[in-house]
Amino acid sequence: MILLMYVFLFLLASSSVSLSDAEDTIRPNKVMRENETLISANGVFELGFFQDGGVSGYVFLGIWFKDIANKKPVWVANRDNPLEQFYSTLEIRDDGNLIVMDRRQAPMIINYGTVATSWNTSATLLDTGNLILRQSGEVIWQSFHFPTDTLLPGMRLGWFGLQMNDLQLKRRVLLSWLSPRNPSRGAFTVGTGYKDAKTLAVWKGDAVHMDIGYLERDGFRFIFNNSILSFNLSYTSTSNETYLTLNTNGGYDMSWLVIASSGQLDEYAVYKGEILLVRHDLCDADALRLRAVNSSVCLRDAWQNCKDGDAFVPVNGTMPSSISMNISIIGDFDDCELTCQANCSCAAFAFGESGCQLYYGSGHDLINLSGRGVFHVRTNIAASRKQGGEKRRVAITIVLSSMASVTLAIIVFWCFKRRQKCVSRVNQLGDGEDSGSKGEVKLIGHDAKSIKTDIEFIGEGGNLAWFCINTLEEATGDFDAENKLGEGGFGPVYKGKLPSGQEIAVKRLSKRSAQGVKEFRNEIILISRLQHRNLVKLLGCCIHGEDEYMLVYEYLINRSLDSFIFDESKQILVDWKTRVQIIEGIAQGILYLHKYSRLRIIHRDLKASNILLDGDMNPKISDFGMARIYGENETCAKTTKIAGTYGYMSPEYAMDGHFSEKSDVFSFGIMVLEIISGKRNIAFFQADHSLNLLGYAWKLWKEGRSIEFLDTTLAKASQSCEAAMCVQLGLLCVQERACDRPVMAEVVAMLSNHVDSLPLPKEPAFLT
């Protein structure tokens, strides 16, 4: 057995050719492994695999300066999808796309967004640090269009596709690393203003930001005073794009900018072979909050603090110039005031013969100034200036302390009553004739030292979190339409991000939905007790008022299965191995529900849109609102309310209301046929309208032409016997009589090749 394993590994290694030393290009049929690299023509940059430096041992593909000692990558290909150590490879697939893989054999396309349409491609690392993919000699993709945390000369930050629709509009920004050794997405972003590249700003999260530079008539100007002036930013604007480009100034060999994981902006330059570094401190290292340069006070990170100081008051004295900048404004005093007012990090402004001067330093630096002149300070800062004697300050302190005590008492009482109401409301979710058991709620994890009550834990052992409505409103941008991921029978689903940085998906019950509190309760009771890698994870819920019901799930970056297999532009991204992996994962998840979970469960609404995909294209079953708990000795149940999706319902359920494990098997069979064909069951018609997808699959299988049933993007890459097996498996699951269909344990065995041959299927239901 060991000998056979070594032979297999030898054949696998010899099936493709490794790179030779010092190559700058990878071509089809060549594989780059973890111990190999690409080196640009003049040895400036190197591309290869690197580890994140942590205990995880994750592997990433990156580009770094070849002769700089620390080898910190300037570009990372798979920062959100790390690979496993010892098995990572880079190659050009037979369809022309550049992919990385590990032992899981789930290919990830590097040139996502512009897929190749021909096998005649090659990837080259240039001396600029740009990795380009050529097809028939023409560049179709380049890494410079997808920067990570580093801005190299020639890279562009800004907006592209302005004349296109919103789906095609693209914004290029820098995103910091999660930590100095982990290239995953961090907290800080560097980018230009909205659809305008005349300003450059740093964001923390999605809202808090600080402007760090403006376009002047004589060029782009930063608020930094300690720059080594090794670079400049040039501005370009056309009808379709507006962007800033980094250019190295004369005398320096190269310069580049990096947004650090701590929020600092690092300026690097190479001068006569020596590397120079200037660090622009935009952030308080302890609080990780943006602040003005050289200021001792963090930038205000709540917009309401800015709103309270929208007005300005005149102050006599000379405004400090240490952290101020002059900007050219075509207008008058009012325009200067509006410019400062629109930016929360602008503490004061002055307008005179020299134009508009904005101050970005600490508000404390504006107190007790002297000198000639007049400048204008935000009211919340001006109020801090000394305006009276010691008696006035003492009186104000006493009044404010009393008010704070009363307010705190009110808040504590309100929170206590609200928690009681939350317990009562959630306990009601456990009541119901078919709920299986009562859902006892336990509120735990409350810290008496903190008033922060955004998340309260409920459920057995604190498995689920109770989210307050304001937390979800802030996370989703008040349920902004731009964050909407889709909509189902329950209601719309929104993408959000919690203060901790965790991304979530929020499903909100629609007032127009046919589903309601019963389905909401059902999902909480069922999915909170299920733990399986192929089931979506429910993080918590929210009840607000009488009609606001929300469920909070883990966010899965690749969204739903139907968005891939039914989209012509994305079908090519899901190759044969990935589709088989998805089918196997769905089967394992259903088997767990039917046989191995604490509660035997029938899902009743299995369909492609209820299968979510993570970053590795692993499937996760979601939406348990229609699911039913199934007794150990039950073989079939009946309902008078038919709920589900036509096209996936078994005939006995759709016509008579009878459902069982075989109902889920039927839905699974539909999905198998949809996954391998790339066509929807309910939307497939032949030219003569005689057969639907099931009838078409049955016809081709009987005639021995199952290969023709496959998605056209798969036909060349798939073996006919494997295709015929999948079609036959799908047909076995959609047979008209429930007793003829296999159980999920048998399906998993068939997929795992634990059977010598598959049974012959009978004619499927709904043939025409």
User: Which residues are marked as active site?
Assistant: 605
Nearest to 149 by CA among 236, 74, 242: 74
Nearest to 558 by CA among 172, 108, 144: 108
CB 315 within 8 A of CB 360: no
Four-point Cα dihedral 224, 225, 227, 231, nearest 10? 60
> How many angstroms separate the first and last alpha carbons of the chain?
50
Cα gap 382→313, rounded to integer Å: 7
CB 133 within 8 A of CB 140: yes
Six-digit token string for 296: 């001792």
Using the Cα atoms of residue 137, residue 140, residue 144 and residue 149 in order, give the sign of their dihedral.
Answer: negative
The residue to which tokens 């970005």 are assigned: 360
Nearest to 270 by CA among 292, 251, 283, 288: 251
Amino acid at 173: V
Strands (E), 126-216: 131-135, 138-142, 150-151, 156-160, 170-172, 174-179, 182-193, 196-204, 208-216
Six-digit token string for 161: 């596709």
CB 52 within 8 A of CB 182: yes
- For residue 594, the 8-state DSSP code is I
The residue to which tokens 């004739």 are assigned: 433
Taking each helix axis from N to C end, the angle separating 661-677 and 744-751, rounded to the nearest 10 degrees, works out to 30
- List 33's β-bridge partners, or say none: 89
Residue 254 dihedral angles phi and psi, to the nearest 5°: -165, 155
Give 420's Cβ-side CA count (13 Å radius): 5
- For residue 448, the 8-state DSSP code is T
The residue to which tokens 């780059």 are assigned: 32
Cα gap 40→548, rounded to integer Å: 57
Strands (E), 474-513: 484-487, 492-497, 503-508
Six-digit token string for 516: 């309601």
| Cβ neighbour number for residue 642 with a 10 Å cutoff | 14
Residue 525 dihedral angles phi and psi, to the nearest 5°: -65, -40
The residue to which tokens 């200037």 are assigned: 278
Cα gap 655→765, rounded to integer Å: 12
Ramachandran bin of 491, using left for φ above 0, alpha for ψ from -120 to 50, beta for the remaining angles: left
- Length, in residues, of the chain: 768
Nearest to 96 by CA among 64, 126, 135: 135
Nearest to 620 by CA among 654, 587, 586: 586
| Cβ neighbour number for residue 646 with a 10 Å cutoff | 10
